[in-house]
Structure formats: structure tokens, C-alpha cells
Amino acid sequence: MKKQAIFFSPFMAYCFTFMAAMLVYLLDWSYLYPRLSWQLVCFFAGTFLISFITACFFKSFNLFVYNEQTNKIPSLSIFFLLAGYFLDCAWSRTVPFISLATGASTYEDVQLDFGIPTFHVVLVGYNAFISVFYFHTYLSQKRKRTLFLFIISLVLPLLIMSRITITLAFIGCFYIYLFSIRKHLMAKLLKLSAIGLLFLFGFGLLGNIRTAADVSADDVFLAIGDARDSFRESWVPKSFFWGYIYASSPIANLQLTINHESKSANSQAGLKNFLIHELVWDAVSKKYDNATAGGRIGFTQINDAFNVGSIFARPYAYIGFTGMALMYIFIWGISILYILQLDRNSKYYVTYLCFFNALIILCVFDNMLTFTPFALVLLFPLFDKVYSLLNKRKNAL
């Protein structure tokens, strides 16, 4: 067993993600950001400790070990993707990428109206999962055909402007790459960190298209994010402010919610809505909202442009720190149940683990555990195990 195996548990994914967001927050580059409260710091310190202890406990079960993918890719997988997206576009009579490029639709219209009901939800989740699987297969076998299939699996969600699908696939693939490293993990992590910094710099430069004769996109973003004078006058490239805001604004919105939300939210109605909207698949909670004319609660934001508050902001808005504690227990419990159902002999084992870790990472922005397309994928290991048991029983007869 590799010494760094604990690094790849979902418990450590939670620690690294929220710890990184907190550390970036402490750079204090924006006037919009409130001071972190001791209650929030203690909350994260406590959950980090619990997660680390749990990760150490499960390390002894030999669960977090990398396996090469030696099986062939199921031929029906790419057919299902291509046929699925064709049916989606035919049903909606549009290709979102083309509609947006020509100005025929807005991004909001595309997200609301595109796709066959229910079928589209399954397709998007399957796409993210199979992209990670294709990458694992390519990394194991280095076949050009597999690389081609992987690229196709990323182009298809691009055509329907599904940014979340591409984002999750990239994070899952990144995890698989790290998982596959057998020596000098920390050294390679440092190199990857340097590449990440260059990416952030380039990300800002790409956005730095002149919006007026003497005004750059960087200047506009510095104004929107209300950058501190100390940052404006520092040696740090202004392009880094983009990455800073995106990485740390969820913590800022969470802290602002804690500062401003009424404590009277701790009520029976608040608990009921918390359970319905934060612990149940959103496909179910939306049907409940349609029947009751209700809706998911909002939270306090530093700016309308930055509208994510991590998986914890809404639980606090519902029932205060009790909601945050219950939400962490939910994350912790699902992580335990998920890894216990994994089968080390499954060809999808590494894909399952890295997909789930990617999902935990995205929780720094919102509650992804109840996002139906991806939540459905969490049932795949169970289906896989049932299929294997039925196969063994059939062969035994």
C-alpha cells in the first residue's frame, strides 16, 4: 500500500479543499470580505480534525489504492453518449453552443429549456462519470482510440454549455493523475502548483481584453471585487485577483450570512425546509416546491456577481450552526457509506473514488451531493456490485 494513499480519501478531499479556500481568504485582498469569526474557524477546525481521524481509520482497510484499468472500454458507452446528445438536441431543436454563439438564446434560456426531461439528467451525470473512466483507461493503456473517446466526452457537454460537467470531469481526471503517481508525489505536486499559478495568471490575462480605451478587464474585476489598496499597490500580478475571488468568495458569503442572517431561522419550518432542500435530491425538492409554491432559501452575498456560498451557507440560513453541523454529518456519513460499498475488483473502482472526491471538492461552491445528475452516479457502485453478484450466481448454476 502506498504511503500517500490517505491523500486520496474523500475525507482528505474535504480538508484540502476547504482549508485551501480558508488560506486564500486570509490573503485579505478585498474590502468586501468580512473578518472570519471564531465560531466559523472553530467549526472548520473541528470538521478537519474529524475528517483526518476518519481518513486515518479507513486507511487500514486498504481502500485507497490505485489500480490500472486493463479492461476494454464498453463499446456501447460512447454510442449512448452520442445518441443521447443527438436526441436531446433533436427534442429541443437547438444546439446550445450554436444558439449562444449566434445570439439566438441566452445562457439562462439554454439551462432552463434544453433537454428531454429526466433523460437529460441521467445523460449529464453519465457523461461526467464516463469522461473520468475514459481518462483512467487512457492513462493505463495509452491507446490513441481511448484518448479520442475522452476528447469526445468533453466536447459533447461543451456543445450544450454544461460547465459543471466539464469542471467535475477535469477535477476527477486530475485526481486520477495524482493517484497514478507512484513516486515523488510531493515534488510533482509542487510542480503542478507552479503550473496552477501560471494558469491563474493566464486566466486573468485572457480576461484582460480591453473594454474601453484605457480600461482593462482586470481593472473592472478589481472594481467589482473591491480590491484593497494594499493589493493594488503590491507586486502581485493583478490577474491573480480573479483566482482569489473565485476560490475564496464562497467563504466570504458564508461568513457574511453568519453575520447578517436572523437567528430566528432556528424553527420547525426552518428545519423542515433544510431537510427537504439540502438533504434530498434537487429533482425531488423542486417537485415539492412546485406543489407548495416554495423555494430554496437564499443567503447573504458580498456582491451579486459572486453567488456561491459553499455547501454550508444555506444550512446556516435555515437553522444556524445546527444546520452547518448537520450538513457536515451528512457529508461525513455519505462518504463512509460510499467508500464501504466500493468493490476493489471493479474496473470502475478508481473512477468511482475520484469522481466522488471531485464531487466533494465542488461542495466548496454549493451542495453537489443533492445535484441529481451527479447524485445518481453515486448509486453506480451499488448497481455494479449487484450486477457482479448476479453474474457470479449465474456462473455457479
For residue range 123-176, list pLDDT tens digits in order: 999 999 999 999 999 999 999 999 999 999 999 998 888 888 998 999 999 899
C-alpha cell at 361: 471538492
DSSP H helices, the chain, are 10-25, 38-59, 75-92, 96-102, 107-113, 119-141, 144-159, 163-180, 185-207, 217-224, 229-232, 240-260, 268-278, 282-292, 313-319, 321-340, 349-362, 372-377, 380-396
The pLDDT, as a whole number, for residue 226 is: 85
- What pLDDT score was predicted for residue 36? 93
pLDDT (0 to 100) of residue 107: 61
Task: Using the predicted structure, report yes or no on whether residue 109 has a pLDDT greater than 80.
Answer: no
Residue type, 151: I
User: How would residue 69 be classed by pLDDT, with cut points 50, 70 and 90?
Assistant: confident
- Average pLDDT, stretch 357-382? 93
pLDDT in tens, 217-274: 567 778 888 888 888 888 887 777 888 888 899 999 999 999 986 544 456 678 888 9
Query: Residue 383, Cβ neighbours under 10 Å: how many?
Result: 9
Percentage with pLDDT > 90 across the chain: 44
Q: What is the mean pLDDT of the chain?
A: 84
* pLDDT tens readout for residues 292-323: 877 888 898 988 888 899 999 999 999 999 99
128 residue type, one letter: A
Per-residue exposure over 282-307, b if at least 16 CB sit within 10 Å of its own CB, e if not = bbebeeebeeeeeebbebbbbeeebe
CB atoms within 10 A of CB 119: 13
Cα–Cα distance between 336 and 10 in angstroms, integer? 9
Question: Best-predicted range by mean pLDDT among 43-57, 170-184, 193-207, 275-289?
Answer: 43-57
Q: Distance between CA 330 and CA 212 in Å, rounded?
A: 48
